[in-house]
Every structure is written in structure tokens, then in C-alpha cells.
């Protein structure tokens, strides 16, 4: 009996202890209590703002510029009567065999409403018969007003009136990164528009053979191919930035680099040709070259890395009259810094006979200002 009593008492105490433990787990410390699983996080609610579309950057629309440029760009065909068959396109019918022609194609830009057209010299060089086709397919015979091989520019004239033309951009303000259009007639495909940016300025690619040729091209990545020569390089606001002239290519077709004569030089040459029949170029009367590391060591100018060195001075020229000297380093014209030879040749090429230029040169380590009256 006593043994039963002890067993009962032990069972009772164990039951009470178990009950106390359960009560502690449920209602005791939060760190030990059984907690319900956390509610899933609410999914983010996306609310479309009323002005969300308006806040996105607007892509550049080049269509207005293209609409202005296309009517002002023409298709040029130039023919030369001769004995040698050197045709770009040599497809003649039976009746043509008695008189062989050399023909070429290119583009041109209407420069004035009364029919003056600017193109490349190489498009019409040696031609005896030139025709111009406008974007609306009117065909005009063209006469050569004048040409300048050293800038690769020429001016034609047709009899049209009230023709569409492009306003001129200030090519000095056309900076790398600016959007441009190339408009022309590549491979005979009329009124073709391609787009790109200005890649660089003041490029010289040794395109023109003459030592005193003017090469200071705008470089772009707008696609240009044979037939684009003489066509328009146009700014995003529809102004003429340059005349497309050349491509850098190992295949003869576009490979990412094209070059245009800047509009400020185009205007200078074209205006002279229209007024006088030829380009009246001013000369500095020097032999010059881009400043190099060898020049830096030779002249002892450790703090100078850019400019143009005078290598020789011609008697009776503008430089001799102004007192410039061999080994002078030209670093500025007016307020414009001069980095290399193409920049200086373009700047001098745009100046007129009789004008004066204020050159800043470094001589014996010191800066000097020299006023140069430009002679022909």
C-alpha cells in the first residue's frame, strides 16, 4: 500500500511539472514562445506617374534638318570628251562608240537662290559638259564659274531661280560630339541621308598633292561613299557645316571615317570665285611645320607642346615685312590658340588680302605679339 502511495505521488508531481512547463512555453518569455509565421512582405505597388513619359529624355529628331537639306543638294554628272576610255561608268550603246566620254558623278550644294552651286574640284576636274539634277528631278546644264584645286572646291552656275539653299553654320562652333547629317548621292542613289557625329576637327590626311594645299577637315562617322563628294554636311538645326570630300578607306568604301571641308573656308573660297572668278588667297610667306618633340628639344621650350614652327621666310612676303623670324613658334592667331599646321593653314586661308593678323609667337622663350599685314 505504501509503495502504491509513493508511485501515485511521483506521478502526480511529474504531471504538475509537465503542466507548468507547457504554461511557461506558451505564455512566458517571447524569445521562447511559439510565434506564428511572419506575414509575407507586401509586393511593391507600381504607380504610373501622369508625367512619367514627359520626364524621359526626348531623342534628337533629325527629320527637320533632313527636310531642309535634301532640296538644297544636287546630283552632278561631269563628262569629258577624249580619246582614252577612263570611265567611272563605261556603259555605252552602239551609237556612242564613235565618241568616247569620261564621266563622273558626285554631289553639289546650292549656295545661293539664283543658281550658284558649290562642289568639290575633283568632281568636275577637266569636264567639258556638266549637268545638275535637283532633288525634284529637274535637269540643268551647268557652267563652271571657277575652281581651286588647292582647297578642292569649285563653283558651278545653273539658270534656276528661287532655288532652295542652306544657311551657313559657323564651322568654328561645330565641336566633336555634335550630331550631323551627310546628304548626297552615293553610288548614284539620289538624296541619301546618313547621320553621325563630329569625330574631330582640323584633320589633314594628305589628300591634296600641293605643298600649300589647305587641309583642315571636319572628321565625322556619318557614312560617306563615292558619289557623296561635294555634298552637304549638315548640323542638327539644318545649316551647312561643310562639304563632304573624302573617306579614309582601304576598300574604297566607307569604313567609319569621312572628311568635310569646313563651311567657313567654303564660304571664303566660294565668295571669291563668285566675285572674281578665282580664289584670291593671302599668303603668310613662310615655310611652316607642326611643332614636334624634336623642336621642343632643339628650341629648349620644355613647357610648350603645341604650335607651328617657322622653318623658312620668303623675301617680299607678309612674314618678312612683319619681322617674323625662323624658329618663331606660332601659338595664337588673335585669341584663337593654334595647335598644329592644319589649323593655321585654314585660318590663313580664310583671311583676305589686305587684312592684318595678330600672331602670338614664342621667340627665345618669350611670348611676342606680331601684327602681320597679309599680302597676295
Q: What is the CATH number of the domain that holds 304?
A: 2.30.42.10
- Answer yes or no: is 32 within a domain: no
- Answer yes or no: is 105 within a domain: yes
What whole-number distance in Å separates Cα of residue 137 and Cα of residue 140? Answer: 10
Domain identity same for 152 and 72: yes
What whole-number distance in Å separates Cα of residue 73 and Cα of residue 1? Answer: 126
Domain identity same for 153 and 176: no
pLDDT digits (tens, 9 = 90+) for 186-225: 988 999 999 999 999 999 888 887 778 999 999 999 999 9
- Answer yes or no: is 202 within a domain: yes
Residue 204 is a catalytic residue: no
| 241, 244, 248, 251: CA torsion to nearest 10 | 150
pLDDT for 335 beyond 70: yes
Lowest mean pLDDT among 57-66, 241-250, 324-333: 241-250
Domain identity same for 151 and 176: no
Domain identity same for 257 and 186: yes
| pLDDT at 75 (0 to 100) | 97
Rg for the chain (alpha carbons), in Å? 38
Domain identity same for 176 and 134: no
More confident residue, 108 or 375: 108
| pLDDT at 84 (0 to 100) | 38
Domain identity same for 146 and 191: no
- Please give the model's pTM, rounded to 2 decimal places: 0.78
Catalytic residue among 229, 258, 263, 318: 229
Nearest to 291 by CA among 311, 309, 303: 309
pLDDT band, very low/low/confident/very high, at 30 (cuts 50, 70, 90): very low
pLDDT digits (tens, 9 = 90+) for 38-74: 555 555 544 545 555 556 667 789 999 999 999 999 9
Contact 76, 106 (CB under 8 A): yes
Contact 344, 330 (CB under 8 A): yes
| pLDDT at 269 (0 to 100) | 97
More confident residue, 215 or 25: 215
Residue 152 is a catalytic residue: yes
Domain identity same for 152 and 107: yes
Domain identity same for 145 and 189: no
Domain identity same for 71 and 131: yes
Mean pLDDT across the chain, nearest whole number?
A: 83
pLDDT digits (tens, 9 = 90+) for 158-175: 998 899 999 999 999 999
| pLDDT at 99 (0 to 100) | 39
- Answer yes or no: is 302 within a domain: yes
Contact 126, 80 (CB under 8 A): yes
- Answer yes or no: is 166 within a domain: no
- Answer yes or no: is 58 within a domain: no
Domain identity same for 177 and 142: no
Catalytic residue among 75, 107, 121, 122: 122
The domain total for the chain is 3
More confident residue, 34 or 116: 116
Domain identity same for 70 and 146: yes
Give the mean pLDDT of 304-311: 96
pLDDT band, very low/low/confident/very high, at 256 (cuts 50, 70, 90): confident
CATH number, position 107: 2.40.10.10
Query: Range of 336's domain?
Result: 286-373
pLDDT for 145 beyond 70: yes
Catalytic residue among 152, 272, 295, 328: 152
- Answer yes or no: is 12 within a domain: no
Domain identity same for 257 and 175: yes
- Answer yes or no: is 337 within a domain: yes
| pLDDT at 14 (0 to 100) | 55
Amino acid at each position: 500500500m505504501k509503495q502504491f502511495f509513493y508511485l501515485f505521488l511521483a506521478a502526480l508531481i511529474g504531471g504538475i511539472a509537465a503542466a507548468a512547463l507547457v504554461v511557461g512555453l506558451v505564455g512566458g518569455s517571447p524569445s521562447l514562445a511559439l510565434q506564428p509565421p511572419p506575414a509575407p512582405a507586401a509586393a511593391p505597388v507600381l504607380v504610373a506617374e501622369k508625367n512619367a513619359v514627359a520626364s524621359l529624355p526626348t531623342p534628337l529628331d533629325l527629320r527637320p534638318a533632313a527636310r531642309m537639306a535634301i532640296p538644297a543638294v544636287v546630283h552632278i554628272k561631269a563628262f569629258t570628251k577624249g580619246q582614252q576610255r577612263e570611265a567611272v561608268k563605261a556603259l555605252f550603246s552602239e551609237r556612242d562608240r564613235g565618241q568616247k566620254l569620261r564621266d563622273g558623278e558626285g554631289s553639289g550644294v546650292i549656295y545661293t537662290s539664283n543658281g550658284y552651286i558649290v562642289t568639290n574640284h575633283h568632281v568636275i576636274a577637266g569636264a567639258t559638259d556638266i549637268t545638275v539634277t535637283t532633288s525634284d528631278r529637274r535637269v540643268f546644264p551647268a557652267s563652271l564659274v571657277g575652281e581651286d584645286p588647292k582647297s578642292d572646291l569649285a563653283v558651278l552656275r545653273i539658270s534656276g531661280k528661287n532655288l532652295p539653299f542652306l544657311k551657313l553654320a559657323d564651322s568654328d562652333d561645330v565641336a566633336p560630339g555634335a550630331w550631323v547629317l551627310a546628304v548626297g548621292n552615293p553610288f548614284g542613289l539620289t538624296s541619301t541621308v546618313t547621320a553621325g557625329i563630329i569625330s574631330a576637327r582640323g584633320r589633314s590626311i594628305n589628300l591634296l598633292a600641293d605643298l600649300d594645299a589647305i587641309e583642315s577637315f571636319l572628321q565625322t562617322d556619318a557614312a560617306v561613299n563615292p558619289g557623296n563628294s561635294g555634298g552637304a554636311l549638315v548640323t542638327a538645326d539644318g545649316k551647312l557645316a561643310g562639304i563632304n570630300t573624302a573617306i579614309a578607306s582601304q576598300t574604297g568604301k566607307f569604313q567609319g571615317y569621312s572628311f568635310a571641308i569646313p563651311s567657313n573656308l567654303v564660304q571664303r573660297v566660294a565668295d571669291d570665285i563668285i566675285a572674281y572668278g578665282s580664289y584670291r588667297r593671302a599668303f603668310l610667306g613662310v615655310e611652316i611645320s607642326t611643332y614636334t618633340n624634336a623642336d621642343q628639344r632643339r628650341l629648349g621650350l620644355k613647357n610648350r607642346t603645341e604650335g607651328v614652327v617657322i622653318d623658312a621666310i620668303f623675301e617680299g612676303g607678309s612674314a618678312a615685312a612683319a619681322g617674323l623670324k625662323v624658329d618663331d613658334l606660332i601659338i595664337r592667331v588673335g585669341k584663337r590658340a593654334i595647335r598644329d599646321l592644319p589649323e593655321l593653314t585654314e585660318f590663313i586661308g580664310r583671311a583676305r588680302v589686305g587684312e592684318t593678323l595678330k600672331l602670338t609667337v614664342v621667340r627665345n622663350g618669350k611670348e611676342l605679339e606680331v601684327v602681320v599685314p597679309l599680302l597676295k
